[in-house]
Structure 1
Amino acid sequence: MVSPEPHDPSDLGQPATADRQIDDFAVPRDPSPRKGRPWLTALSIVILLLGLGLGWRWWQSRNAAAPGGAGPGAAQAQAAPVELETVETSTISESSEFVGTLISRRSVDLRPEIDGRITEILVQPGEAVEVGQPLVLLSPDQRAAEYASVLAAVNSARATRASSASELQALQAERVAAVAEVDLQNENFRRTSQLVQEGALAQDQLDQVERDRRSAIATLNATDQRIQASRANLVESQAALEQAQANAAASNAQLQDTVIEAPFAGTIGDIPAKIGDFVNAGDIVTSVTQDQSLELEISIPLERGPDLRTGQRVELINAQGNPLTVGR
């Protein structure tokens, strides 16, 4: 057996080198395709089993939560009920809210007409009162003394007037007698004059009758003057009596002013004063408001002015949002 001798590549031609290269690279080593893949297969099986388990648990929990048990109708039982209605056209009213103030057109502050000290308060704030009802009393001591004084003046003037009237009546009676005396003396003078002319009587008797006649006339004239003076005194005493009566009426009115009364029916407001306070004429003691009929004043922005209409509906609500009344 002869072993082949090794050939030097240099002894061979170029084709030999090419064939060698082909032998080296044309048949490379091919590793086995199954080497290193069993672990990937096992991992896929584990993931698949895990997914099946989770899916089974989810399906069981869903069926347990559905009422009526599982089945095709269970999913339908969970649907929400729906009501169908027919759409209709209607008018939508636009409204706005504004803050308003209720006011009374008849409200008055009560002030005393005189100075005085409050002795009694007969009402409470918020109380309903009637017309003429006494509300506050002031001390009447000083006014009562003044009234007693003017009453005394009235009585004195009345007595003076009565005296003047009596004097006038007496003088008028005297005048009647004086007139009668004058008439008598005139008649005596006429007869005596005739007798003297006839010579039946002396002249000195006529002179005496003349003196008596003149005396009677003088007495009548004096009586007339006294009557005139008495009439003047009567007029003066009558004027004094009327003035005294006027003073008494004013004093009585001031005495009545110690009682502050309600001028009309309404509700009492705040009473800032208290018993014992001294108030001057014109100080506010309390107020009375007629709340049977109130007016609502609303401040509306200027830009909303064109939206206002005569007879527009207005609903009044209180601070809690509860409706009170509706007006236009």
Structure 2
Amino acid sequence: METPNPKINNSAFRRLSGQQGLLVGLGLGIVLAIGGMTVFSRFGNQRAAAPTQSAPAAGAKNAALPVKVQQVGTSTTEESTNFVGALEAQQKVTLQPQIQGRIENILVSSGQRVQKGTPIASLSLDQTQANVASSIAAANAAQAGLKTAQAQLQQAQAQRTKVAANLQLQQTQLNRTQQLVSEGALATQQLDIARNNVQAAIADLQAADKEVAAANAGIRQAQANIRQAQAGTAAAQVNVNLKRVVSPINGIVGEFPVKIGDYVSTGQTITTIIQNDALDLNLSVPSNRLKQLRVGLPVQLVEPTTQQVIGTGAINYISPTVSSNQQSILSKARFNNSPGRLRDGQYVQARIIWNRQPGILIPTVAISRIGGQSFVFVTENTTVNDKPQQIVHQRLVRLGDIQGTNYQVLEGLKPGETIVTSGILKLREGTPIQPQS
């Protein structure tokens, strides 16, 4: 047996030992890597085949997390588009004086609800009231003149009646005289006298007729004077009425840019009356929605913070032209504002609902996002240590539009499944849970 040579130096031995150690280390690493890949492959195959088997290990180490759950059901989903538009009062009137003057009194306050015909403000009457009094006096004088003319007519008619009776008498006397003269009982001279008396009576009757005609003309003039005086009175009264500004509609009084004592002219704004009971929402709808846009489409007003619906209306007007600059179509939707929560000129968020159909809605709080994708945690019943236990599985879903506080689910969930709606940040694949009421 050959014995080792004691002359081999220590440095050579150390190099040999180091090389052997490196070889041993590399061999051990390769063995461990192959073993780990085998274990991982078996675990992966086992999990893919039976995902519920991963729950016991997690359940053995972690207590069940209390969470809220919700069963997925079929709901009505909506295809909609959000817009921002301005509300416009259906009736809005700017009050302006029709005559110039100084504001004497403001009879209502801003924000007050008024009825049609309610006095809003009054201007100083100055000379206008005096003109009314003068016109009334002229009308009274015309009435007195008419009475005088009527009395004169009655007197003229009475005189004519008397003259007409005298003419008849003279005519009778003439006929009698003619007979007596023809019989020779009277002289011819008496016949001439009788004829002269008849002629005089005829002349008196003609004069009386002229007096009656003059009296009738006086009455017509007096009546014309009355009409003129009444027209003057009405005109003066109109000026008085113009000094009082009244509301032409029912509504709410706006701000007053003027105050008592200000001198205003025609066309100057005193205030506005706005009727907020019904409001129109002006919307600019993209022209690519023209095929879907139609009168009667439901429109919802949405509270921007809570996304709660605060009003429901419908499209009632679609412009026949397209805006060349924005390539949009002006549309209007009318809303009933009986609660009085909305105001003219208010900008609001609105949602046009193009279509409604059955689908799945889930709360937005149930969604978790990883790498730009959306996931939910779906519950599953299993057993841990021979005891029933619920665990969760993370599932990829494809979402549609948001409706209020819910998302539409287009793919990934079916009705009847149960999802977690709270504490999702604490959950992982296979985490045991304890559903809470």
Kindly provide the CA deviation profile for residues 46-76 of structure 1, in whole angstroms up to 9, marking residues without a partner as x.
xxxxxxxxxxxxxxxxxxxxxxxxxx99961
* Aligned mates of 2:114, 2:281 — CA distance in 1: 24
Determine the structure 2 residue equivalent to 1:297: 282
Matched, 1:242 2:233: no
Q: What CA deviation, in whole Å up to 9, does each residue of 1:75-113 have, x standing for no partner?
A: 613575788887777665343321112212222222222
Name 2:102's counterpart in structure 1. 117
One-letter amino acid of the structure 1 residue matched with residue 107 of structure 2: L
- Counterpart-to-counterpart distance in 2, 1:125 and 1:164: 56
SS at match of 1:300: strand
Q: How far, CA to CA, are the matches of 1:83 and 1:259 in structure 2?
A: 67
Establish whether residue 209 from structure 1 lines up as the match of residue 194 from structure 2: yes
* 2:214 maps to which of 229, 244, 247: 229
In 2, Cα distance between equivalents of 1:189 and 1:278? 83
Residue 100 (structure 1) aligned with residue 85 (structure 2) = yes
Aligned to 2:312: 326
- Unaligned segments of structure 1, at least 5 residues: 1-26, 37-71
In the alignment, what sits opposite 1:254? 239
Could you say which residue in structure 2 is the equivalent of 1:190?
Answer: 175
Q: 2:266 maps to what in 1?
A: 281
The corresponding residue for 2:119 is 134
> Quick one: which of 146, 150, 154 aligns to 1:161?
146
What is the CA distance between 1:253 and its match in structure 2?
2.1
Separation in 2, partners of 1:116, 1:184: 72
Deviation at 1:263, TM superposition (A): 1.5
The residue type equivalent to 2:287 in the other structure is L
Unaligned runs of 5+ in 2: 15-56, 315-437
* 2:299 alignment partner AA: V
Q: Could you give the per-residue CA deviations for residues 268-288 of structure 1, whole angstroms, max 9, x where no partner exists?
A: 122222111112233222221
State the TM-score, normalized to the length of structure 1.
Answer: 0.72
- Is 1:268 paired with 2:253? yes
Structure 1 pair 100–31 and aligned structure 2 pair: CA distance change class (3 A) = closer
**3-state DSSP of counterpart to 1:273:** coil
Quote the Cα distance in structure 2 between the aligned partners of 1:313 and 1:276.
Answer: 50
Percent identical: 38
**1:218 aligned to 2:203?**
yes
Residue of structure 2 in register with 1:180 after alignment:
165
Q: Please provide the CA RMSD for this pair.
A: 3.1
CA distance in 2, matches of 1:129, 1:82: 55
What letter is aligned with 1:259? Answer: R
Q: Tell me which residue corresponds to 1:312.
A: 297
CA displacement 1:178-226 (0-9 Å, x = unmatched): 1000000111111112112222122222222222221111110001012
- Match for 2:293: what amino acid? L
Find the residue that maps to 1:325 and give its secondary structure.
Answer: strand
Aligned counterpart, 2:405 = none
TM-score, structure 2 length as denominator? Answer: 0.55
Please give the alpha-carbon distance, in whole angstroms, between the structure 2 residues aligned to 1:151 and 1:89. 80
Cα-to-partner distance string for 1:86-145 (whole Å, 9 max, x where unaligned): 777766534332111221222222222222111001112221101211110111232111
Rounded to whole Å, the distance in 1 between the matches of 2:276 and 2:265 is: 29
| 4+ aligned runs moved over 6 Å, structure 1 | 72-75, 81-91
172-181 or 74-83: which moved more? 74-83
Distance 1:181 1:76 in 2: 145
What secondary structure sits across from 2:80 in the alignment?
Answer: coil
- Matches of 2:242 and 2:270, distance apart in 1: 13
**Alpha-carbon separation, structure 1, partners of 2:310 and 2:70:** 34
SS at match of 1:186: helix
Give the match's secondary structure for 1:294.
Answer: strand
Q: 2:142 and 2:204 mapped to 1: Cα distance?
A: 31
Whole-angstrom CA distance in 1 between matches of 2:10 and 2:196: 199
Q: Match of 1:199?
A: 184
On the 8 A contact 1:113/1:254 being kept in 2, the answer is: no
- Aligned equivalents of 1:309 and 1:236: distance in 2? 67
Alpha-carbon distance change, 121 to 200 in structure 1, aligned in 2, over 3 angstroms: same
The alignment partner of 2:228 has SS state of helix
Give 1:246 deviation, angstroms: 1.6
